[in-house]
Chain A
Amino acid sequence: MILSPHIKTSKSIQQPSNSTQPNKANMADLNESIEESQENNNLPKVFLHGPPEFSFILQPNPSHNFHILNPSSLPPLHQFLSLNPHHASSIAAIVCTGGYTVNADVLQLLPALRLVCTPSAGTDHIDLSECRRRGIQVAGAGNLFSEDVADMAVALLIDVSRKISAADRFLRRQVQNVSWNFPLGSKLTGKKIGIVGMGRIGSEVAKRLEAFSCMISYNSRNKKPLVSYPYYSTVLELATDTNVLILCCDLNDQTRHIVNKEVMLALGKGGIIVNVGRGALIDEKELLKCLIEDEIGGAGLDVFENEPHVPKDFFSLDNVVLSPHAAVVTSESLMGIRQIVEQNLTAFFSNKAPITPVI
C-alpha cells in the first residue's frame, strides 16, 4: 500500500454532513442536499476503491464534472454493491490503490466501468490485460513519483554503505564524553551498480549515481536501444559483475523472487541490495539468511513481502536499513498525485484521453 490515510496531512478532506433527524431547523439543509443530490445524479459516478479515508487522494475542492459515490470509502466495494445494487451499472470510474485489486471478478461487477485510476507507481494490483480486453482505460501516476523513489533508493544505498542510521542510533545511546568507536563503512563513489528495471525510476537512479562516478549497468526484460549503459540479459550475470543491485522493476510472474539465493551469492560478501520495487522481487527468507551469515554486505529495503509485517530477525541487524514503504510519502508527491487524479478524472469525463495512461 502506498499513501494511505494514516499519514499526517495538514488539511483533512471535508466529509459531507448527515442529518438523520429532519426538523424545521434542518429542513433548509435537507432541501439543499436533495437539490445537490439531484444535480449529482446527472454526473458520472466515481467509486473510491481503497482504505477508509482514501478520499485524502482527492483535491480539497474537487472538480464538479464527476460525483464521488463513496467519499468515506466505507463499506468496501463488494458490500457497497450488495447494499446499493442500483449503483453497479452507473459506476464509470474507480480510483484504486495497491492492496485493492482490480481483477476480472471486480470488473465483472462493474459493467459500466470505463476508467481505472491508480495513484501509485506500481500496477500489480490491476489486471491490465483484462482491462485492455474490456476496453477500460487505466491511468497511473505518470512520472510523478520517479524522483522521490530514486531519491529513496540512493538514500538507502548511502545509508547502508556508510552506516548512517546505525551511527545515529549508536550516538543517541552513547554514554557522553566517551571516545567514539564506531565501525568503518564502505566507499560508494566509483562502485559498480546493477539496476534491475531500467524504466523511469531506474533511469533516475542511474542519473543520480553517475554523479557519484559509479559505473552503471542494468538488466530488464528487453535491452533498451536508447540506453547506453551495459546490458545484462539475466540478473544473475548482472549480480556477478556488480557490487550493488538496485531493484526498480515491476512485480509480475517473471520477476517474482528474481533475487534469489544464487543471485545473492553471486553478488557476494560486501555486496548491497536496495529494493524500492515490491517486496516479492526478493526471496525474503533467503535474504535474511544471507545477511545474518554475512554472505552479502547489507540491504536497504523500502518494501517487504507481507507488509506491514516485517520479520523480527531484521530488527537486530546493523547491516540493513528498513523503511515502511515510504518512497513516495512526501508532501510534494501528495500534492502532485492529488492533481494528477483530479486531472485524469476531469479529462476523462470531458471525453479527453487520461493525462497519464498506463494502457
Chain B
Amino acid sequence: MGSIGVLLVSHQVIPYLEQELNKRYNLFRLWDFPQKSQLLTQHGASIRAVVGDAFAGADSDLIEALPKLEIVSSFSVGVDKIDLGKCKEKGIRVTNTPDVLTDEVADLAIGLMLTLLRRICECDRYVRGGNWKHGDYKLTTKFSGKTVGIIGLGRIGAAIAKRAEGFNCPISYYSRTQKQESKYKYYPSVVELASNCDILVVACPLTEETHHIINREVINALGPKGFLINIGRGKHVDEPELVFALLEGRLGGAGLDVFENEPHVPEELFGLENVVLLPHVGSATVETRTAMADLVLGNLEAHFLGKPLLTPLV
C-alpha cells in the first residue's frame, strides 16, 4: 500500500490524520510545492486519491490534472469544494464524514445562540477588562422560549431542533420539500421562515440553489430583533449585505462560524457587540476530529481493498 500516491490538499487537517496517511501511503502535501503545477507535473500521474476538507477540495482543474484519480475523501461533511459532477462523470468516488460530527455542530449552533443572545463574550470581556466595579452588565435577551427557524432539516438541523426544544423553543423550518413525518412547522420559503422566527439557523448544504440563501430580503424579514446563526458555509450568506444590516441596526445580531472567504473576516464586524465570530470550529473537538479522521482512513482503506465504502456520496 506504501506506493499508492495520495494528495493532501489542506494543512488544516489534524496531525493524527496527516501522520496516518503518511504511514500508509505515499503522501504528497500540496503546500510543500511552491507551485501547484510543479506538483502535478512531477507526481500527477501517481496520485490515486485526494484528501481535502472544508477549506480545500478538488475542483475541475485538479481532477483533470490527475489522470489516475480514483477517490476523493473529504475530512468534512460539506463537499462544496469538490466538483461532484466531474467526479460522477469520471467515475471517481467521493466520501465525506457525516454523522460523526452531527452532535458537535449542533452543540455549537446552540452555543452560538446562547452566547449571542446572552452576550457571554461581551460579559467575559467586561470582567477581564477589570470593568466590573459596581452594578451589572447591560440587559441581554432571554433565549428560552424564542422561536428557532432552521434552514435545512437534515441530520444537523434535526439535532439542533432537538436541543432547542429542551429550552422550550418552538421550532419551524424551511427545506426543499416538506418533511411529512416532522412535527415542526414548515414554511415554503426562507423569507416566510425569517418573518416568523426569532433566531434563524443555516444548516443546509451549500449548492448552487443555496448560494446566498441569506440575502437582503431575508435579513430584513428577520429584522432588528432577529438573530442569524450560520454553521453552514460562508457563501450561504451575502456577507456585504449582512455587514450593512448589522451596522445599520436592521438585524439584531449574528453568530458566525463561517465566512465567505476564510480566513478573511469583514473588519467592520470586529467593533460590534452583537456578533459572535468563530474560526470555523463546528466540528473542532479532539473526539470528533479523530472520529472524522478514522472515517477518512477507513474509506480509503476500503476503496483500495475493493470493499464497499463506508460513507460514499458519489
| A185 touches B (CB below 8 Å) | yes
Cβ proximity bits A168-183 to B, threshold 8 Å, 1 near / 0 not: 1111101011111010
Cβ proximity bits B139-156 to A, threshold 8 Å, 1 near / 0 not: 111111100000000000
| B22 touches A (CB below 8 Å) | no
Q: Establish whether residues B264 and A7, one from each chain, have CB atoms under 8 Å apart when the complex forms.
A: no
Give me the interface of B with A, judged by CB distance under 8 Å.
11-12, 14, 103-104, 106-108, 110-112, 114-115, 118-121, 123-128, 130, 132-145, 162-168, 262-265, 267, 270, 276-281, 284-289
Cβ proximity bits A295-335 to B, threshold 8 Å, 1 near / 0 not: 00000000000011010101100000111111001111110
Q: Establish whether residues A159 and B111, one from each chain, have CB atoms under 8 Å apart when the complex forms.
A: yes
Q: Establish whether residues B127 and A323, one from each chain, have CB atoms under 8 Å apart when the complex forms.
A: yes
A-B residue pair count with CB separations less than 8 angstroms: 210
Closest 5 CB pairs of A and B: A6-B135, A211-B166, A158-B111, A155-B114, A189-B103
Q: Establish whether residues B121 and A169, one from each chain, have CB atoms under 8 Å apart when the complex forms.
A: yes
CB-contact partner of B144 in A147, A178, A326, under 8 A:
A147
Residues of A within 8 A of B138 (CB): 7-8, 329
Give me the interface of A with B, judged by CB distance under 8 Å.
1-9, 51, 147-148, 150-152, 154-156, 158-159, 161-165, 167-172, 174, 176-180, 182, 184-190, 207-213, 307-308, 310, 312, 314-315, 321-326, 329-334
Residues of B within 8 A of A312 (CB): 130
> In the bound complex, how far is the Cα of B167 from the Cα of A209, in angstroms?
9
Q: Establish whether residues B118 and A179, one from each chain, have CB atoms under 8 Å apart when the complex forms.
A: no
> In the bound complex, how far is the Cα of B11 from the Cα of A326, in angstroms?
40
Question: How many whole Å from B111's CB to the nearest CB in chain A?
Answer: 4
Q: Establish whether residues A212 and B104, one from each chain, have CB atoms under 8 Å apart when the complex forms.
A: no
Q: Establish whether residues B124 and A165, one from each chain, have CB atoms under 8 Å apart when the complex forms.
A: yes
Question: How many whole Å from A164's CB to the nearest CB in chain B?
Answer: 5
Q: Establish whether residues A168 and B277, one from each chain, have CB atoms under 8 Å apart when the complex forms.
A: yes
The residue of chain B having its C-beta at the shortest distance from the C-beta of A329 within the complex is B136
Q: Establish whether residues A186 and B265, one from each chain, have CB atoms under 8 Å apart when the complex forms.
A: no
> In the bound complex, how far is the Cα of B107 from the Cα of A190, in angstroms?
11
> In the bound complex, how far is the Cα of B142 from the Cα of A333, in angstroms?
8
Q: Establish whether residues A180 and B132, one from each chain, have CB atoms under 8 Å apart when the complex forms.
A: no
Assuming the contacts A9-B139, A164-B278, A180-B262, asked whether A187 and B120 have C-beta atoms less than 8 A apart, the reply is: no
Q: Establish whether residues B263 and A179, one from each chain, have CB atoms under 8 Å apart when the complex forms.
A: yes
The residue of chain A having its C-beta at the shortest distance from the C-beta of B103 within the complex is A189
Assuming the contacts A3-B136, A179-B263, A326-B137, asked whether A165 and B121 have C-beta atoms less than 8 A apart, the reply is: yes
Report 21 cross-chain contacts, Cβ distance below 8 Å, ordered by A residue. Answer: A3-B136, A4-B135, A6-B134, A6-B136, A9-B139, A151-B142, A161-B285, A165-B120, A169-B121, A185-B281, A185-B284, A211-B166, A308-B134, A323-B123, A324-B136, A326-B119, A326-B137, A326-B140, A331-B141, A332-B142, A334-B139
